[in-house]
Amino acid sequence: MKVLNQLIEGVSSLRLTVFCLAAALVLVFAGTLAQVRFGLYLVQDEYFQSWFVWWQAPAGNFTLPVFPGGHLIGAVLLGNLIAAHIRRFSWAWKKIGIQLTHLGLIIMLAGGLATDLFSVHSFMRIKEGGNSNYSEDSMKMEFAVIDQTDPETEQVTAVPGERLASGGTITHESLPFQLAVRGFYQNSKLGMIGQGGTSVPAASQGTGQRVSVTAAARATRMNDRDSMSAVLEIIPVKGGDSLGTWLVSDALAAPQNFEFGGRRWSLQLRPARYYKPYSLTLLDFTHETYPGTQIPKNFSSKVNLSDLEVDDSRQVLIFMNHPLRYRGDTYYQSGFEPDNSGTILQVVRNPSYQAPYVACVIVSIGLIYQFLFHLIGFSRRKKTATAP
Amino acid sequence: MNRLVPYLVLFLAALWIGASWMYPKTDPGEFDLSAFNRIPVLAGGRIKPMDTVARTSLLILRGKQTLRLPEGGKLSASRWLADVLFHPAKADAYPVFAVANQEVLGMFGFPQADKKYCTYDELKPHLAKITEEGRLAADMESAKRTPFQAAIFNLGNSIQLYQRLKSSIHQEGTAGFGKEIDTYAKAVAAGAANPGDGSGALDSDRLALLRAAVSRYERQSQFSYLMVVAPPAGGGEDDWLTTGAALMRVKSPDQIPASVSALADMGDAFRANDPAKFSKVTREYAGLLNIEHPEWAGRTSYELRFNQMEPFYHSMVLYVGAFLLACLSWLVCPKGLRKTAFLLLLLALAVHSFGMFSRMYLQGRPPVTNLYSSAIFVGWGAVALGLVLEHLYRDGIGSASSGMVGFITLIIAHHLGSSGDTLEMMQAVLDSNIWLATHVVVITAGYSAMFLAGFLAIAYVVLGLFTRLLTRESARKLTGMVYGIVCFATLFSFVGTVLGGIWADQSWGRFWGWDPKENGALLIVLWCALILHARWGGFIRQRGIMAMAIFGNAITAFSWFGVNMLGVGLHSYGFMDKAFPWLVAFIIFQVVLILLTRLPSKCWRSFREALPRDVTAAGFECQKGA
């Protein structure tokens, strides 16, 4: 029992709070500096959205945890907060502000954790006059094998890009062939054969015959991202000759086609797609600048939203600071295609997006209450002190 | 009698401020540049007076708002601009390009020096080289450029700005612009067909003239830095034109816009060195715009007056004065000097506020829109808070701290302002007055509070260590002040950070993205929370609070400027490599002060008589028990 009491004491102690806050401070500072070298996204993964910060030994292949990561500190702080809340909770006027503040913080930390775990960011590109019913992930790739025999509907078989990294052979019941991974590049550079250098063709079939592929260092800059590539050999399931090796890459825009078993197939490594039960049509994209300058003044996309499932069709204007929220997705004006020929919308699906709003209101009320409570007390004392 | 002295000092200071409100008188025999200054033009997306164009351009090129001539004497920014616009050949011989890199100077074959002001004539032979090197530098991230590359890149930009300014009214080398446009308009009206023989053949001379003119106006229009042609009454901001564009629309002499003919006459009179005519045309044109566009003219007149008053310079001087007087009040004549310092601070804050609200009026925006205006607001907030403290405690410490913070922030603002027009237009994503007014203002007020708390703590260290002025009672009071201000900072930093998250959620689709500026704000919130919890837990006492408040200065400075210097993320809107050594020096200074707080009590002159053991951290809670 004594041990349990000590444990509860420790978990809910102010000392632990102070320790967590100090650790968070060090982590945030170190992470911010690390962003200069490793870029925003890599640091986000390794420092803030991880349980530990790992140190990679320069020689040898072992790694060591050197500091608690954002998730660990956040989780301990959350536990500490909840424990302290339960243990010290009391109804007293002078404590209400503190109680509210910490309740709000609990909601915020829990919401933040949920966002990290469950939110999905993607982009939807629509040309003016065109429409789209899917968005593309900005980080994740997928390898798609598409059966295009039927001109009306495509049959898509897709595996996540990471699946290719683990090598081996990919099989699926809908495919009459298997795909053996012969090469994988997290980030790569493609070059045209015959334009200097002694480059070897990346593959024996398709575009890969005219292109070479080399591995490149992971992208770290703000606007850069990895260009994934893989070389795959197509082998019929029921035996027979191999269809050769094929290069698929993020850098190759067009899918590559081939015929097998009397059907038309197409291969593509592309950003992972999220299909929606509704579609958006871009009616008009406008890009205004301040007179006589190139400084952007406003971007806006006028879209037509049409949802066949619930028979909803309406026009919506999406512009800076005015997103469209629909069926759990939120569409933000994010960018535009060259020559203003189309729009790029950021699509976010975040089930806990309301948590910060609620938390903010509760914490603000708590802090303001506490601040005013002390201020009034202070000025009262001041008055009695100066009174003759 | 003695009681009147503070008010007398206040009166004299107010007179000094009032003097700057007066327009400089123009001699009848000289060019009336005050009328020229008032003329509105469109540049950088907003309508501003010529005076602002002149001052900001010279500031970008030379780093100063006036031009010192090698043969002695000074040239005002507007006189320089008049030369650039109307008499470019003369302006080419003025030393306006500041080059502060030995390698660059060496490349041009100039003698080694730390800094040199080059003339355009001197740089002309090297233009190709500058363009080439500048292009190489432009392809690199600004953070990765060598000092040489940064210098050549800036010089290239300066030269481009200067060349564009020179073509803002007409092309270089134009002698009689009034006559030229008259001939042109007549030729347009007559058409290219030859009326003489009725054969329909083209008049080859007139055709050549028109061709040459159109290609000239086309080029001028593309290159011009300013849009000087105001639309007819009732037109909007989008209807401003360059002279070239306006002339290409002309079909007959009576269609030449009033702006074009007025500027042509001004230029011809200026070149002919005819001050009387120049002044007359300029005043008439300014008067015409007053009637046709009263709102724009009113705004530019106001901006001109604001420029001439230099409110931030004046309040900066007053802050220094008040700081010195407050310090002096601890040694001699405590009551009188403290009162004088307090009154001067009030005046300084009034002038500071005038400047800040004027900027808000001119821009039509909340007070903080860029790094420059954040410095102005941080100072304003800290001084206002410090004055409240001084009013409550009357011990000179509030005055001294706010004088110091006011002075330092305005010096910072002054240096940030040298990059050009500080009333620049807002990028689309920032174009939201609601969020600018809430998130940005609240978070910047948090910076103010952090700095005030930090400087109060510095006052504690300096007074405690080096003087005998800090008594047990005043040390306790000072700790209460710091604690209260840290509470205030916690409130503002937290609410401001969360509001920022909500704005980000509205515009970028994520509440929190671990962007450096967001991390910086989080660091401040965490630090405040750390101070408060460490105190509540009894882990720190009086000097611990002071040490932590001083380190708050370093964290706030990092969050305010340091993260912008990293050059990553969505918020890196104000990259300043020059400020980096200053930031490092500031942080080192804070660390030294923190180490000083660790000295044993016997080293503190104020606490030499051994402190009783039972002194706990002072503050609201402690007072409650009393």
**Residue A9 has what pLDDT?**
84
Beta carbons of B210 and B240 less than 8 angstroms apart: no
Mean of pLDDT values over B538-564: 92
> Domain segments of chain A: what residues?
2-118+363-386, 122-131+275-349, 137-274
Q: Least CB-CB distance to B533: which of A14, A322, A382?
A: A14
Q: What is the ipTM of this complex?
A: 0.83
Question: Least CA distance to A300: which residue of chain B?
Answer: B428
Nearest Cα neighbor of A97 from A366, A356, A380 is A366
Predicted confidence band of residue B575 (pLDDT cuts 50, 70, 90): very low
- Residue A173 is given by DSSP the state T
Residues of chain A contacting residue B484, judged by C-beta atoms under 8 Å apart: 374, 378
Residue B567's pLDDT band, with cuts at 50, 70 and 90, is low
A289 chain-B contacts, CB cut-off 8 A: 45
CA B353, distance to chain mean position in Å, is 15
| Chain B residues lying within 8 Å of A377, measured CB to CB | 620, 624
The mean pLDDT of B421-443, rounded to a whole number, is 80
Q: What are phi and psi of A129, to 5 degrees?
A: 90, -15
Best of A27, A32, A116, A352 to disrupt the B interface by mutation (most B CBs within 10 Å)? A32
B371: nearest Cα among B150, B557, B590, B568: B557
Minimum distance, in Å, between the CA of residue A53 and any CA atom of chain B: 16
Instruction: Provide DSSP, A235-251.
Output: EETTS-----EEEEETT
Most confident range, picked from A235-249, A307-321, B133-147, B515-529? B515-529
Best of B242, B427, B506, B511 to disrupt the A interface by mutation (most A CBs within 10 Å)? Answer: B511
With CB atoms and an 8 Å threshold, state whether A356 touches B490. Answer: no
Over residues B313-327, mean pLDDT: 95
Q: Which residues of B touch A31 (CB under 8 A)?
A: 514, 519
**Average of per-residue pLDDT across B438-461:** 94
Q: B227: which chain A residues are within 8 Å (Cβ-Cβ)?
A: 291-292
A43 contacts in B (CB within 8 Å)? Answer: 514
Beta carbons of A35 and B569 less than 8 Å apart: yes
CA distance A2 to chain B (A): 23
**pLDDT surpasses 80 at A142:** yes
- Tokens representing B157 are 């930009």
Indicate the pTM of the whole model.
0.84
Q: Phi/psi of residue B367, each to 5°?
A: -65, -35
Contact B533 A374 (CB under 8 A): no
Distances (CA, A) of B278 to B37, B166, B263: 13, 19, 10
Residues of B in contact with A114 (CB under 8 A): none
Q: Is B550 helix (H, G, I), strand (E, B) or coil?
A: helix
How far apart CA A253 and CA B344 sit, in angstroms, is 68
Contact B569 A222 (CB under 8 A): yes
B514:A21 CB<8 A: no
Q: What is the pLDDT of residues B242-295, one digit of tens each?
A: 999 999 998 888 889 999 999 999 999 999 999 999 999 999 999 999 999 999
Give residue-wise pLDDT tens across range B111-122: 777 778 899 999
Torsion sign, CA atoms B473, B476, B482, B485: negative
Rounded mean pLDDT of A216-242? 81
Among B166-175, B392-401, B411-420, B609-618, which range has the highest average pLDDT? B392-401
Between chains, do B505 and A353 touch, taking CB under 8 Å as contact? yes
Nearest to A368 among B431, B491, B503 (CB): B491
Interface test with B, best of A12, A15, A18 (most B CBs within 10 A): A18
In a 13 Å sphere around the CA of B172, the CA atoms on its Cβ side amount to: 12
Distance (Å, whole) CA B82 – CA B88 = 9
B620 contact residues in A (CB cutoff 8 A): 374, 377-378
For residue B425, the model assigns a pLDDT of 76
